[in-house]
Amino acid sequence: MKSLSAELAGRPIVPTVSSGAFTDKVRQTVKLLFGTPLNAILTIVFGAVLFAVVPPMFRWFVLDAVLFDPDPNACRAASGACWSFIYAKSGQLLFGIYPFDERWRPALVCVLIIALLAWSVRPASWTPRLLQLWIAALALVGWLMGGGLGLAPVPTSSWGGLPVTLILTVVAIGVAFPIGVLLALARRSTTMPAMRIIAVAFIEGIRGLPLLSILFVASIMLPLFLPDYLLPDKFVRALVALTLFASAYLAEVIRGGLQAVPSGQYEAAEALGLSFWRTQRLVILPQAIRVAIPALANTIIVMIKNTSLVLVVGLFDLISSGKAALADPAWPSPAAETFLFIGAIFFALSFSFARFSDFLERRGHIGY
């Protein structure tokens, strides 16, 4: 016995899966899918739809697709997707009409913004230095995209693609959030009626207009009322329009979070002798923002996709770059593949932020 125990003690313990547990899981799955007549019908219908749709889609996406062949005639002869168009036109799709020899600059801007966004989601990075880092990074982005100080100047009319989408999203939301907080506080104010009226008029006025009309006013009507030396660049005007639009919606979301904070929190802060701004900064706003995280995330994701509307005022975002690439007569204009590629980029941005908001919800759960 002693030698047997010693021999067994030297062997690694291999976990085994109970056949009973596996059988129970199978039974639970079958019950879930076919436990009731309605579930059985839905399972059969959904399975039939998958069987009818998935094989042809896989054949079009992969088996019959042209992947890396640079010859446009290969796409014309193929019955599947023309992914070689995406490969050949990737520079134009991602960077629009930016000068070809200078495309390393928008590529570096994309890497810089995405890397900084990834760094910013770490709780350890949430310090005052993060704001300073973002300000320095955005200044570097402006220099890289616009040129000067040793780089060839490139006007904003030549900017396009993914950098435009990222810059519009980051700057518009980053500036709109503190404006939205101030608007929400002003709208709830009981001691400053003038500020409350201004905040209500701004929020309701912006929310009552579609974003397209605001972009048209900023890009088309504003030049009619201002002289050229006072007129901002078209890119700046579109950025301001997006910022104002986002701030109005964020203000209402934050106001909802403020209303959800129990009145006892205000009373406790007042009992401690905290001033209004210290009460808001240390007590109220942290709780209100945690409560409003799902609605804030939804608003920000909508704004990410709203940046595509700048194409109507002549800015080359991702969709405009895709349309410009499709205009090449040498290729068979694979629109489906192009917009699937663009949609995948928007989905990656939106999905990543949605997962970040889920993390914030779990981390900041306060029970009400």
In a domain, 291, yes or no: yes
Quick one: which of 96, 105, 234, 249 has its CA closest to 184?
249
- For residue 1, the model assigns a pLDDT of 46
Partnered with residue 160 across adjacent β-strands are 316
Note whether residue 3 is domain-resident.
Answer: no
Q: Which two tokens stand for residue 215?
A: 């972009």
Location of structure tokens 């995209």 = 145
pLDDT at 364: 66
Cβ neighbour number for residue 173 with a 10 Å cutoff: 22
For 241, residues 6+ apart whose C-beta sits below 8 A from its C-beta are 211, 214, 215, 217, 218, 219
Q: What is the model's pLDDT at position 11?
A: 54
The set of residues, in sequence order, having a beta carbon less than 8 Å from that of 354 and lying 6+ positions away, is 297, 301
Given this model, what pLDDT does residue 8 score?
46
Is residue 15 one of the residues assigned to a domain? no
DSSP string, 235-280: HHHHHHHHHHHHHHHHHHHHHHHHHHS-HHHHHHHHHTT--HHHHI
Question: Residue 284 sits in a domain of what CATH number?
Answer: 1.10.3720.10
Distance CA 152, CA 134 (A): 24
In a domain, 20, yes or no: no
- The reported pLDDT for the residue numbered 37 is 85
Helix (H, G, I), strand (E, B) or coil at 148: strand
The answer to whether residue 359 sits within a structural domain is yes
Count of domains observed in the chain: 1
Tokens coding 131: 């704001």
Round to whole Å and give the CA distance between 341 and 346. 9
Is 172 among the domain residues? Answer: yes
Indicate the Cα dihedral angle 244, 249, 251, 252, nearest 10°.
150
Yes or no: say if 94 and 109 are a contact pair by the CB < 8 Å rule: no
0.85 exceeded by the pTM? no
Which stretches in the chain have pLDDT values below 50? 1-4, 6, 8, 17, 368
81 domain residue, yes or no: no
The whole-angstrom separation of Cα 193 and Cα 195 is 5
Residue 345 has what pLDDT? 93
Q: Name the residue range of residue 213's domain.
A: 98-363
Task: Say if 60 falls within a structural domain.
Answer: no
Taken as a whole, the chain contains a residue count of: 368
